[in-house]
Structure 1
């Protein structure tokens, strides 16, 4: 979808942001200092940069200013810090940063800022049914209601997915879940989240709550799987109770 450069001297943060953004379909490059960031900026021309402020060699604000004065600030830059003051954030914005994220960064704020950055200055098609362009971003990270009372709005194209489907002729119900209703007229990420939630609830029930087997089935690392289930709002305690 987009080429994103993540610049942060903390390995854990780089790995986490890589995992999240890669899962969103983006191509992600990582840099642990300003020198690597300069090299990546020159070779890959990223569509967006996530730039930490406090780094050991050259701080993020200095690097941002360097790009701005040399005509290299041609992409949106989102600053990140857990210790920056308001004055620092204001200075970064004045130089040309489009947003500032305070650590620890929540998934919802990260994806909203990335979406906004990638859409900045780009002509976007009108959203269907008069929906505002920000509606998609507002839905990021939220646990959309699946099969809510009253069903989808009038005229919406829907698909009803029965989570008690037969897998090799064996019906495996999702305990307490019944039917999931997927609104195919919803934004792509929202519809995908609803499908993934149904998918993981189905396999958790099928594998009697075994995270190891569900991780193997889905091809995800256990840590990534836990984060994904939490993001989707899957009730793991209920899955364990139902599997008991």
Structure 2
């Protein structure tokens, strides 16, 4: 996952973008003006910047030009504006922006632009060295007889987890019984909460994949989880 800096003078937009991107597993830092953006960029060395064009002190295009002239555009920058034109988008691209998003920004466009911006530039992380040490006491490339999966291993087929993994690694299991001696609304809410917690754990807390699996639009899903009192942070940890 990436470190993303969101620069916007509107508190509501900063909060909304932060929630969405955090739900996708990214680390998000916020700035409300150019001065804070400069300091955050120097401190964090973000993998991506979402930069609003219209800000009260220094506008986003001017900040983009400043970073480009100083050789500081080491990360992709996505420009955002609620009053943008084609000329504005062309100018932003000319000075180094990787994409332009018009407000109000839809979830699909935001996530698609972020995904494309993060994979387009050359990777900034150090390459992973070839394995030279044994894994779980076996030589690299050897077929392991132990049932404990390593990072990057494919998941076992559904239904085989209980037989192949020790209990501490199984993670949360879906609740199988419910107290039916209560009002229908309460019983339904209990079932729905267990249902969504199961899918959040299964999908490692990714709201996008849970929305696809459950057939709900992502904004509706988020409101539903809040209504049911589902702890999104806990669900992410449980799914790891």
Shorter-chain-normalised TM-score: which range? 0.5 to 0.7
Q: Choose which of 210, 217, 220 in structure 2 pairs with 1:193.
A: 210
Question: CA 1:190–1:97 in structure 2 vs 1: closer, same or farther (change >3 Å)?
Answer: same
Rg (Cα) greater in structure: 2
**Structure 1: 5+ residue runs without aligned partners?**
124-156, 176-181, 199-208, 222-244
1:113 shift after superposition: 0.5
The residue number in structure 1 matching 2:48 is 48
- CA change 1:189–1:20 in 2 (3 A) is closer
**2:149 aligned partner:** none
- Say if 2:51 and 2:77, in contact at 8 Å, map to a contact too: yes
Offset from partner CA, 1:70-119 (integer Å, 9 cap, x none): 00011000000010121111001001000000000000000000011111
Q: Which residue does the alignment assign to 1:101?
A: 101
Give, in angstroms, the shift of residue 166 of structure 1: 1.9
Distance apart, 1:35 and its partner CA: 0.5
Secondary structure class of the residue paired with 2:30: strand
User: Relative to structure 1, is the Cα distance of residues 211 and 55 closer, same or farther in structure 2, using a 3 angstrom cutoff?
Assistant: closer
Tell me: CA distance 1:122–1:169, structure 2 relative to 1, closer, same or farther (3 Å): farther
Distance 1:117 1:108 in 2: 14
Secondary structure at the aligned position of 2:54 is classed as coil
Higher strand proportion: 1
CA positional deviation for 1:159: 3.9
Displacement of 1:23 in angstroms is 0.8
**TM-score, normalisation: structure 1:** 0.58
Q: Which residue of 2 aligns with 1:57?
A: 57
Distance 2:103 2:8 in 1: 12
CA-CA distance at 1:32 after TM superposition: 0.2
194 and 38 in structure 1: CA distance in 2 versus 1, 3 angstrom threshold = closer
Q: 1:211 to 1:115 in 2, by over 3 A?
A: closer
- Equivalent residue in structure 1 for 2:177, among 167, 178, 198: 167
Per-residue CA distance 1:95-146 (angstroms, 9 max, x = gap): 10000000000000000000111111347xxxxxxxxxxxxxxxxxxxxxxx
Partner of 2:17: 17
Does structure 1 residue 88 correspond to structure 2 residue 100? no
Counterpart CA distance in 2 for 1:48 and 1:87 is 23
| Aligned position for 1:33 | 33
Q: Which has the higher contact order (CA 8 A, sep 6+)?
A: 2
What number of residue pairs does the alignment pair up? 165
